[in-house]
């Protein structure tokens, strides 16, 4: 929800990739809306400067992210080339992909970690005809602080989640989520976003 706005999405892109683009208009969002493939859906996909960024948020560790990403990116490339002749003798140029998972689960994970499709292969071989690497970035408090500090919306989201978890030690999830939203509004953390989307955020915090 937060990164539906191109301005916020560009800020996240710059933070994750260490870039300094400043024109949100140059960002093309290519997330497949309502795309379901074996029940899989991507959070955000966008293209900027011929770079295809597939960003996923996970609150639980999932070693199957490379397989999920493979299925999704195949669907996405099909969409991007639907009007092109893939049987032509002329090379079709594709945007370079990268796969990022922003992890803020409670299970201990390193600051960054590569999840590889080849890890799932039944037998190991140096000759990997198909590989896909997903970079998992731990965005919990105390991890990847340089990335988080470059994106105020991401920082605000992490603070919100931390408050919900802390309040859950005292209150049921419904009250903890509502209290966390109120505190964030009071303290100027994603204030405008929470004022506009308070009811939906509350529901998502409980049910998602």
Q: Give me the mean pLDDT over the 62-67 stretch.
A: 95
Q: What is the pLDDT of residue 49?
A: 77
Q: How many CA atoms lie within 13 A of 28 on its CB side?
A: 9
Q: What is the pLDDT of residue 178?
A: 92
Q: How confident is the model at residue 1 (pLDDT cuts 50, 70, 90)?
A: confident
Contacts of 25 (CB under 8 A, 6+ apart): 6
- Residues 118 and 129: their CA atoms lie apart, in Å, by 9
Q: What is the pLDDT of residue 37?
A: 41
Q: What is the pLDDT of residue 42?
A: 63
Q: What is the DSSP letter of 122?
A: S
Note the pLDDT tens digit of each residue in 74-121. 988 998 999 999 999 999 999 999 999 999 999 999 999 999 999 999
- Residues 14 and 8: their CA atoms lie apart, in Å, by 10
Tell how many helices (H) and how many strands (E) occur in the chain.
Answer: 6, 6
Phi, psi of 89 (to 5 degrees): -80, -5
Long-range contact set of residues 60-64: C-beta below 8 Å, sequence gap at least 24:
60/105, 60/107, 61/103, 61/105, 61/107, 61/109, 62/101, 63/115, 63/119, 63/120, 64/120
Q: What is the pLDDT of residue 41?
A: 58
Q: How confident is the model at residue 21 (pLDDT cuts 50, 70, 90)?
A: very high
pTM: 0.86
Q: How confident is the model at residue 34 (pLDDT cuts 50, 70, 90)?
A: low
Note the pLDDT tens digit of each residue in 156-208. 999 999 999 999 999 998 999 999 999 999 999 999 999 998 888 888 777 76
Q: How far is CA 200 from the centre of its chain?
A: 19
Note the pLDDT tens digit of each residue in 41-56. 567 888 887 889 999 9
Query: 């201990």: which residue's tokens?
Result: 108
22 φ/ψ sector (left φ>0, alpha ψ -120 to 50, else beta): alpha
Q: Rounded to 5 degrees, what angle do the CA atoms 49, 28, 199 make?
A: 135
Q: Is pLDDT at 26 greater than 80 in this prediction?
A: yes
Nearest to 57 by CA among 102, 119, 115: 102
The total of other beta-carbon atoms located within 10 Å of residue 167's CB is: 18
Q: How confident is the model at residue 33 (pLDDT cuts 50, 70, 90)?
A: low
């Amino acid at each position: 929800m937060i990164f539906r706005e191109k301005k916020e999405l560009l800020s996240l892109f710059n933070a994750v990739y260490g870039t300094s683009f400043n024109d949100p208009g140059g960002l093309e969002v290519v997330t497949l809306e309502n795309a379901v493939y074996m029940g899989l859906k991507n959070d955000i996909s966008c293209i900027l400067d011929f770079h295809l960024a597939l960003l996923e948020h996970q609150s639980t560790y999932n070693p199957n992210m490379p397989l999920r990403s493979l299925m999704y990116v195949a669907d996405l490339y099909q969409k991007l080339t639907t009007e092109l002749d893939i049987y032509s003798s002329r090379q079709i140029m594709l945007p370079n992909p990268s796969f990022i998972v922003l992890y803020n689960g409670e299970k201990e994970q390193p600051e960054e970690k590569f999840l590889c499709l080849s890890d799932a292969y039944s037998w190991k071989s140096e000759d990997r005809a198909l590989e896909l690497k997903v970079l998992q970035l731990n965005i919990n408090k105390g991890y990847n602080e340089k990335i988080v500090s470059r994106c105020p919306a991401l920082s605000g989201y992490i603070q919100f989640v931390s408050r919900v978890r802390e309040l859950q030690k005292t209150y049921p999830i419904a009250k903890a989520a509502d209290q966390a939203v109120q505190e964030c509004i009071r303290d100027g953390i994603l204030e405008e976003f929470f004022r506009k989307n308070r009811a939906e955020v509350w529901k998502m915090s409980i049910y998602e």
